[in-house]
Structure 1
Amino acid sequence: MDNARPPWARRRPDRPQAWWPPEPGRRAGGRLPWRSTLLVLVLVTVGTNAAAHGQHGRVPLDPLGHALLVAGAVLLLFRHRYPRATALGTAACCAVYFAAGYPYGPVFVTLALGAYAAIVAGHRVVAWCAVGGVWLAHLLVAHWLYRWLPPHLGPAPWGQELVVTAWVMAVLAASELARVRREQLARMRAERAAAERRRADEERLRIARELHDVLAHSISVINVQAGVGLALLDSDPQQARTALTTIKAASKEALGEVRQVLDTLRAPGDAPRAPAPGLDRLPELVEQAQRAGLAVDIATEGTRAPLPPGADLAAFRIVQEALTNIVRHSGSRTARVLLRDVPGALEIRVDDDGPATAGSGELVGGGNGLAGMRERAAALGGTIEAGPRPDGGFRVHARLPLTAAARTTEEES
């Protein structure tokens, strides 16, 4: 049934329907606008008394006239808490004031401010009805009821009504413009807040990926070498010593990279102490993998061109995570890494011959490592394909478009 009503008459579900309770969020807080209301009160009373001296034939201001002026101004104290009641109250004071034949003056200011507060608060129909009611009352008094109401003069000239109509339309237009401007500012603030939350979420995910890649790789190497050391502690102390040396080196490297990430968190504006890792550190990955018992063969195809920093870091982390997964989830002791430069993109392929070990279900199902690789590739406009090969083993195939990576790096910088 509500849909059959005209748009201006439909109830908005986000607006309270009671007239007198304060607006949502206004009950507990918000000080009354004493200073502006006192200024309006002085303007209305002093200005109207001054304007009355040049209006012969109007009813002189008496206690009732002054009471109406003061009441209309005092109602503005509650224009933020009760905008609809304030608009109707100031309109009623103005209508009675004009019907009683009192002099014209700044009494219009109270009506304008009451309507402005209601429109800005979203109660446009109430404000329009209040101002329109005063205009209609003035029209009736000036051209019909003047016979029975003081000062019992003849009908007012129609030119005066044109001035009053123009004033009414100006008040409503200014109030509508203020409402639209306030809504635009609120929308802009909401968009900025959403953008800040989005940037914070992206930064949180980036840090989570960095910590996962660093810790997963280093802890996997430490875990493998700790097992080797325990197994050979009695039978081959020299090999056990080598395993402990590898554990020390891997843990030191992990602590350094974690410290770099934490320093970025503590001082986001400072430059990092060490450059971000890239494909130039692949020999270190190969050495760490060899210490963990994994032989890695790296091959390149095409002409290797310098990569943008974002793509270089993503490529390094993808290879690192792929080798970490082989160490953790594959029974193969060999891995093959292929870096292929194609026009506008870098392709990365990491293969192992399997078979999968116990606990590798999270790799096939897409654990945090694969999710992190996909997020890195997607941030650069690339793709990741990971899954078992038809002839056995597992393959990770990534494609990173270098043009998109360059644009992303420029935007971040």
Structure 2
Amino acid sequence: MRTGRMTFHDSVLALLVAVGSVPLFLLQSAARAEWTRAPDAFGVALVLLMSAPVAVRRSWPLAGLCASLVPQTLLAALGYGFGPAAPAGLVLLYSVAAHRGLAAALCALTLSLAVYTVGVSAGPVTPARWSDHLVVIVVLVALWGAGRSLRLRRAYLAELKDRAARLERAHAADTRAARAEERSRIARELHDVVAHHVSVMTVQAAAARKVLASDPELAREALSAIENTGRVAMAEMRDLVGVLRAGTRAELGPQPGLRDLPALVEQMREAGLDTGLSVHGEAGRPLPAGVDLAAYRLVQEGLTNSLRHAGAGARAEVTVRHAPGELDVRVEDDGLGAAAGARPPGHGLVGIRERVALYGGIIDVGPKSGGGFEVRARFPLKDER
């Protein structure tokens, strides 16, 4: 569609150039009748013929210029007084400079100047002064320069548009990456908050169902623990959703950390998992908040997996070791290590790996050689003095 419009416009321009060139040709011949050849039908035909290539000035500008220069040269050589400074030649020279590369544009300018020189030299003697020739040369060079300027401006604008498009694509890619990262973070936080409490509630509900008839008091304690665990889960979920919801101001409490491990261990004991906790060494300074939270979530996920998969009668042990420049956290049990390792990794362990990697740590997850399952992570700590 665009090519058709361009062709139509160029054809109209060629018609206008032809209509304008014929009167100009007749007036010039009449004004210089004493030293130019009288206009005739052949001269008019040459004028019309040199104007026809303007119709392809954007499709084949250099070829059109060469085709137009042939009748123009004949007009000059036969003494009609028309040369490369005719309207068609000027339009085509400008078109080559505006729509083709530098090499083609220089070729067109050189060809126009050469044809003008040959036409003047081969034609009849004229009283033209050197200033007249200088004016023609200046006009040719000026139009050529105007065409080159337009082409360079178009190239500059195209580069700006392309750069803006690249920046927009890069911004869109960054936005998608940020959204994906945020979705991953939200999913990890939701899993860490919900999975542990739901697992504890599931185990306690199963225990309450088994002893409901034989030991109602024990079942009542299990149901009370389920109620408390559910309330804690709801409170944490409410805080998390309040943070994620735009425009909502949530009441934020401190994030859990290693200081909360005793309460976590006690909760696991109440859920039926025999759990021990040992802490070696002392932190020289408060742990970074992110490392503290990641270590707590690792212990929480490790104990939750032990509660789910270790089996009845298994014991879990949590070991926290503070060393110079390093924090070592380990969760191990003596349950069904090989069977647990055969299970596909869940979202919890994937999230823990991401947390540990975020702080430059190293994590090992898998069954132990002597039986049982182990989750261990080592976090590097910067020694800031």
The TM-score, its normalising length taken from structure 2, stands at 0.68
Q: Which has the higher helix share?
A: 2
2:245 to 259, 266, 271: 266
Residue 210 of structure 1 is matched in structure 2 by 189
Residue 360 of structure 2 is matched in structure 1 by 381
Residue 267 of structure 2 is matched in structure 1 by 288
Shift of 1:381: 1.6
Shift of 1:87: 4.6
Residue 204 of structure 2 is matched in structure 1 by 225
Residue 292 of structure 2 is matched in structure 1 by 312
Distance 1:312 1:58, change over 3 A: farther
Shift of 1:334: 2.2
Q: Partners of 1:236 and 1:194 in 2: how far apart?
A: 60
Shift of 1:360: 6.0
Q: Which amino acid aligns with 2:288?
A: P
Corresponding residue pairs, total? 329
The question of whether the paired residues in 1 share the 8 Å contact of 2:94 and 2:143 is answered with no
State the SS of the aligned residue for 1:193.
helix
Q: Partners of 2:58 and 2:242 in 1: how far apart?
A: 57
Moved more, 205-214 or 230-239: 205-214
In the alignment, does 2:380 pair up with 1:401? yes
- What aligned pairs does 1:3-402 form with structure 2 within 5 A after superposition? 87-88=58-59, 101-102=86-87, 115=99, 135=109, 138-139=112-113, 142-144=116-118, 156-157=133-134, 160=138, 163=142, 166-267=145-246, 273-304=252-283, 305-331=285-311, 332-356=313-337, 361-362=342-343, 365-402=344-381
The TM-score, its normalising length taken from structure 1, stands at 0.64
1:133-156 CA-to-partner distances (Å, cap 9, x unmatched) read 76466445544456899xx97884
Distance 1:174 1:251, change over 3 A: same
Distance 1:101 1:212, change over 3 A: same
State the SS of the aligned residue for 1:378.
helix
The question of whether the paired residues in 2 share the 8 Å contact of 1:335 and 1:353 is answered with yes
The question of whether the paired residues in 2 share the 8 Å contact of 1:88 and 1:130 is answered with no
Distance 1:142 1:275, change over 3 A: farther
Shift of 1:299: 1.7
Moved more, 217-226 or 157-166: 157-166
Shift of 1:306: 1.4
Moved more, 127-136 or 247-256: 127-136
1:360-392 CA-to-partner distances (Å, cap 9, x unmatched) read 632xx4322221111111122212101111221
Percent sequence identity is 35
Distance 1:390 1:175, change over 3 A: same
The question of whether the paired residues in 2 share the 8 Å contact of 1:384 and 1:398 is answered with yes
- Rg bigger for which structure? 2
Q: Partners of 2:29 and 2:320 in 1: how far apart?
A: 95
Q: Partners of 1:381 and 1:291 in 2: how far apart?
A: 34
Q: Which amino acid aligns with 2:177?
A: R
Shift of 1:172: 3.9
The question of whether the paired residues in 1 share the 8 Å contact of 2:327 and 2:381 is answered with yes
Q: Which amino acid aligns with 1:101?
A: A
The question of whether the paired residues in 2 share the 8 Å contact of 1:58 and 1:101 is answered with no
Q: Which amino acid aligns with 1:206?
A: R
Structure 1: tracts of 5 or more residues without a match: 1-19, 23-31, 33-44, 46-55, 60-71, 76-84, 116-125, 407-413
The question of whether the paired residues in 2 share the 8 Å contact of 1:111 and 1:131 is answered with yes
The question of whether the paired residues in 2 share the 8 Å contact of 1:135 and 1:168 is answered with no
Shift of 1:196: 1.6
State the SS of the aligned residue for 2:287.
coil
